[in-house]
Structure 1
Amino acid sequence: MAYERGLQERCIELLERLRLPYRFGTDELIDAVAALRGKPIDLVAMEPPPPGVVVHGQLHQFEDLDVIMYEPATYQLHQLHSVSHEVGHLLFEHPDDPSLRAVAQEEARSQGRDPSKIIRVSGRTGYSSIQEVEAETLASLIRQRMYRSRLLPPPQPSGSAERWEAAFTRPIKERRR
C-alpha cells in the first residue's frame, strides 16, 4: 500500500512537470512530453506483431526522436491509453527491453529509419514488472486528467465560457472513505 501511494505521488509529480492545461488532448500531451525531453515524438500505427506475440504498444527511442507505436486494430480509447502508457515509460526513463529489440529493428526498417540508431525499446505485453505497473499507473492518471475536463468545471475559470460553465455545473459529492 505504501508503494502504491508513493507511486501515485511520483506520477503526479511527473504530470506536474508537463505543465498541461486544464483541458488537453493527446496532441497536447505529446507536445508537452516532447518539449520536456527536448526531442520530437512520432505516433505510428504499428504492424501486427508475429504470431504468438501480444503487444499493445511499443516505444522506440532513437538519439534524436522517440517513436510511440500503437495497435491500430483496436478501439480508439485503447489506442489512446496505450499511447499514454508508452509516455509513462518515457517519463520514468525505464530501461531497455531486449526481448523486443528484433521486432523494433524490423519496424524501424519498415519506416525507413536506421535500426542501429535505436537506443531503447519497450512494449506493453503484460503488467507483471514494476516498470509496467509504473507506466500503467501514470497512463491511468493521464487519461483521468484528460477526461476530468469533460466532467468537471475548471478549478480556476479563466474567460467567460469557463466561468459560465463553472457557475452552472453541479458539484459531484465526494464519497466518504
Structure 2
Amino acid sequence: MFDGGLSLRRLRRRCAARVRELPMPDPFDVRALCALVAGQRGRPIELVPMTERQGVLGLWVATDDSDLIFYEEATTLPHQDHIILHELCHLLCDHYAAPLPGAELMPHLDPEMVRSVLGRTGYSAVEEQEAELLASLVLQQAGQSAPPPAEGLAHRISDALNWADPR
C-alpha cells in the first residue's frame, strides 16, 4: 500500500492514462510540450526563469487567466527542463495546497494577487510522487521517438571533440 491509501500500481495507471492524453511534440521538447498543453487547455502557460529564490527550484502559480511555471535559471538546461516538467505535471494533476504566506519569491507580482491565486506552497508526499512519476513516464514516452539521452550525450561530446564514434 502506498501513502494515502493509493497503491503504487493504481497511481502508475492513473499517470499512464494522463500521458496517453498528452499532445507529445516530436521531437520532444519540454517547452514545446508546455505550449501544446496550453493550447489543449485553452489557457496560456508562461515559463518564468528565477534565480536564487530561497532554495525553491520550481513553482507553479495558477491565476484566473494563465498558469506561470517558475524555474531555476542558474542551472543546466536539462535540469531546467526537469523542473519545468515536474511543475507542469503538478498542473496536469491539479495539485493544490495551502496559500503562499508571502510574495518574496515573485517580487514582480502583486502580493494580494499571489495570496489569492497561488493556491498552494507545498505538496503531500503522494502529490510529489505523482508529479515525479508522471514526469518520468512523459520522458519515457518521449524516449520512444528520440535517441536515449546517454547515446545522444556521447555523440554530442564526440562531435564537439571531433572524436570518432564512441561505440
* Letter of the 1:116 counterpart: E
Provide closer, same or farther for how the CA distance between residues 6 and 121 of structure 1 changes in structure 2, counting only shifts above 3 A.
same
What percent identity do the matched residue pairs reach?
37
Provide closer, same or farther for how the CA distance between residues 25 and 18 of structure 1 changes in structure 2, counting only shifts above 3 A.
same
> Hey, what's the Cα distance between the residues in 2 that align with 1:107 and 1:88?
21
CA contact (8 A) 1:57 1:71 kept: yes
| Structure 1 partner of 2:50 | 46
Matched, 1:61 2:65: no
CA contact (8 A) 2:51 2:74 kept: no
CA contact (8 A) 2:90 2:131 kept: yes
Task: Point out where structure 1 has 5 or more consecutive residues left out of the alignment.
Answer: 153-177
Give per-residue Cα distances to partners, 1:36-67, cap 9 Å, x unaligned.
322101111113123xxx22211111111111
CA contact (8 A) 1:89 1:122 kept: no
1:5-20 counterparts in 2 under 5 A?
A: 5-20=9-24
3-state SS of 1:84 partner:
helix
3-state SS of 2:73 partner:
coil
3-state SS of 2:62 partner:
strand
| Structure 2 partner of 1:174 | none
| Structure 1 partner of 2:36 | 32
Task: Point out where structure 2 has 5 or more consecutive residues left out of the alignment.
Answer: 149-167
CA contact (8 A) 1:43 1:67 kept: yes
Count of residues in Structure 1 that have an aligned counterpart in Structure 2: 142
Q: How far did 1:92 drift?
A: 0.5
| Structure 2 partner of 1:138 | 134
Superposed CA RMSD in Å reads 2.5
> Hey, what's the Cα distance between the residues in 1 that align with 2:13 and 2:112?
36
| Structure 1 partner of 2:84 | 83
> Hey, what's the Cα distance between the residues in 1 that align with 2:139 and 2:121?
19
